[in-house]
Structure 1
Amino acid sequence: MKITFYGAAETVTGSMHLLDVNRTRILLDCGLFQGKRQEAFERNRHIPFDAASVDTLILSHAHLDHVGNIPSLVNDGFHGSINCTHATADVAKAILLDSAKIQENDTAFVNKKRAQQGEPPVEPLYTIADAMRSLQQFVGAGYEHTLNLAGGVSLTLRDAGHILGSSISDLAIQADGRRLRFVFSGDLGRPGGRILRAPTLLDGADVLIMESTYGDRTHGPLAASDDELARVVSDTAGRGGKIIIPAFAVGRTQEIVYALHRLANENRIPSLPIYVDSPLALNVTEVFRLHPECFNDEVARFIAEDKHHDAWGFDRLSYTRSVEESKALNDRHEPMVIIAASGMAEAGRIQHHLANNIGDPRATILLV
């Protein structure tokens, strides 16, 4: 057995680990490297192994740094199955199509500049058509369902509690005359999460690959976060300002909306409009509604008792899809909450909301 780490090692993007066992090649995640445009493009363009030699791909979850380079892998000759939970397959569809659209738009912008300088055009990393083609290779499964892969390897997906559909890959391997348990954690959530169940606890692994992004941090209780959110919204609205929240479209946006819904129901925040300004977040929220099997008991009870039977839909909340709707928010000057991507504020609609509000002493930029 041999493990080669091609990404997410000494960095936090480009998750990609290749397991060679019993003449079978299993790839764990296929994420995009993110960073400086040209450097990241070159790393993402060149798959560092023979893609056609890979038998199967297993996905831990559908964040871009874990699934975002699948179309490149397929373009390079990968024809195997892409195994993940049903929810991850649905989220990955939204993520990959959005990423492909960005690739095409960015390339069109670059080629316009290159044409002005008399330089030849460049190709996008992948296109929407490439992303659509890669989706045909996805094979969804439920939690705790065991799949038989090539080379005497079986896979059981356990709940990782990180984002919707996230899973721990629990591999049973017959190798060198003995049975090994190989576990790849992917990114892990925490017990007592806002929407999802706690990660499944495993023991007895012979080999463990585990993420450690928050390995040095003790998270505070969610109740304290809700109290702080209610205070910030109330204080900012009281002085007539807007609350601008940069948030990732997958996971964090849905957590914030759910928290605001609860606070509104409990009359802990003033009556003000709340906008989710991200087409991707809207698409992913629709996927959330399709997968209640991923929710913890508290969210399930909330949905059952809510008058709308929807954790992500209530009277004060609106989703903006068009650019025109997004820009129109700049012309409104009453207190409101605007949740927009991207979470790191390096791209997306959040940038024009920041530009229009960061100089307003009444406004709050809330980093979550």
Structure 2
Amino acid sequence: MYLLSVNDQQILLECGLFQGRREETIERNRSFSFDPSKLSAVVLSHAHIDHCGNLPNLVRQGFSGNIYSTFATRDLAAIMLADSAHIQQYDAKFVSRKRAKKGLDPVLPLYSIKDAERAVSQFVAVNYQRPMPIAPGVTLSFADAGHILGSAQVILDVVEGGRRFRYLFSGDIGRGDHEILRDPEPVSDVDFLQIESTYGNRQHADKTFAKDELQSVIQETLGKNGKVIIPAFSVGRTQMIVYTLHQLSLEGALPKVPIFVDSPLSVNATEVFRLHPECFNQDIYDFLHEKANPFGMENLTYIRHL
């Protein structure tokens, strides 16, 4: 998270959960180095937990202002924060049981489901490229970041002390040529640039033959009467795989075997994807209008509850 001071106002960019060892995680996530009640606004680039996951705690500790995001980010954050709150409460119960055996006091969850709901109620959704004043002398705009559904680069046009300048926070930037999302938008006339090292120094594999490789693995496994199990992140990866399987099925490259998406969070995330075709690239948008729902097939079953 990043705290900006502009015109005697405090604006927070992102409010994510630090993820690591339990003791260090609890310590770093529970406390803030500033007073949440003094914040004028929060701006969120996207709904991954390392960017939005500590918002309920921020609200719990006194923040009552607006949380600005795109519409898709708001909807994804709603399910992500609810899921995170459930995990926080479960984890606290687990740790408390272990502490009880040692005669130690129980621990409290970082935040509750009600805290998550309160945080979501403070969201103000803004379309891409629609300027929105968020504080005296500060106007917010979002540009597509192409990272996950609803992800955005944060543009702040500022008037302060008689001067004007544009501040750009990149958020996490996508690689481009995404199966579902549009490419990141270029942003011009930037005076101050803050860039997230989304993938660090990682060298990505060439995606050119990924679809063919997936087809080959599935065909080989089915040929041996086997089952294919694909672990995938709930937001983004699951939808990419389902869309690819749908394409392969329509091309006749795969038989109509049963396909299951067995994850409540993945199911909920896919519903959010269906609500936001405005984030789709032209290829999947055409697929949606000319062929079928990219995330639905006759042989596909979504499992919402255990």
TM-score normalized by the length of structure 2: 0.96
User: For the residues of structure 2 that align with 1:132 and 1:53, how far apart are their CA atoms?
Assistant: 21
How far off its partner does 1:278 sit?
Answer: 0.8
Displaced runs of 4+ in structure 1, greater than 3 A? 215-223
User: For the residues of structure 1 that align with 2:195 and 2:274, how far apart are their CA atoms?
Assistant: 29
For the residue of structure 2 that corresponds to 1:245, the secondary structure is: coil
User: For the residues of structure 2 that align with 1:17 and 1:64, how far apart are their CA atoms?
Assistant: 16
Which of 150, 172, 193 is matched with 1:165 structurally?
A: 150
- 2:304 pairs with 1:311: no
User: For the residues of structure 2 that align with 1:213 and 1:152, how far apart are their CA atoms?
Assistant: 30
Deviation digits for residues 276-313 of structure 1 (CA, Å, limit 9, x no counterpart):
1110010111111111111111111111122xx31111
User: For the residues of structure 2 that align with 1:172 and 1:149, how far apart are their CA atoms?
Assistant: 10
2:83 match: 98
User: For the residues of structure 1 that align with 2:151 and 2:168, how far apart are their CA atoms?
Assistant: 14
Deviation digits for residues 218-247 of structure 1 (CA, Å, limit 9, x no counterpart):
645544110111111111222222222111
2:189 match: 204
Q: Residue type of the partner of 2:164?
A: R
Q: Please list, as runs of the form range in 1=range in 2, the aligned pairs for 1:98-137 lying within 5 A after superposition.
A: 98-137=83-122
For structure 2, the 5+ residue unaligned runs are none
Q: Is the 8 A contact 2:143 2:187 kept in 1?
A: no
- 2:216 pairs with 1:231: yes
- 2:15 pairs with 1:27: no
2:304 match: 321
TM-score normalized by the length of structure 1: 0.80
How far off its partner does 1:80 sit?
Answer: 1.2
Which of 146, 153, 157 is matched with 2:138 structurally?
A: 153
How far off its partner does 1:262 sit?
Answer: 0.6
1:255 match: 240
Say how many residue pairs are matched.
Answer: 306
Q: Residue type of the partner of 1:141?
A: V
Q: Is the 8 A contact 1:26 1:57 kept in 2?
A: yes
- 2:277 pairs with 1:292: yes
User: For the residues of structure 2 that align with 1:168 and 1:111, how far apart are their CA atoms?
Assistant: 40
1:80 match: 65
- Percent of pairs identical after alignment? 51
Of stretches 216-225 and 32-41 in structure 1, the one that deviates more from structure 2 is 216-225
User: For the residues of structure 2 that align with 1:89 and 1:111, how far apart are their CA atoms?
Assistant: 32
2:38 match: 53
For the residue of structure 1 that corresponds to 2:135, the secondary structure is: coil
Q: Residue type of the partner of 2:43?
A: I
The two structures, once aligned, show a CA RMSD in angstroms of: 1.4
How far off its partner does 1:117 sit?
Answer: 2.9
Q: Is the 8 A contact 1:194 1:222 kept in 2?
A: no
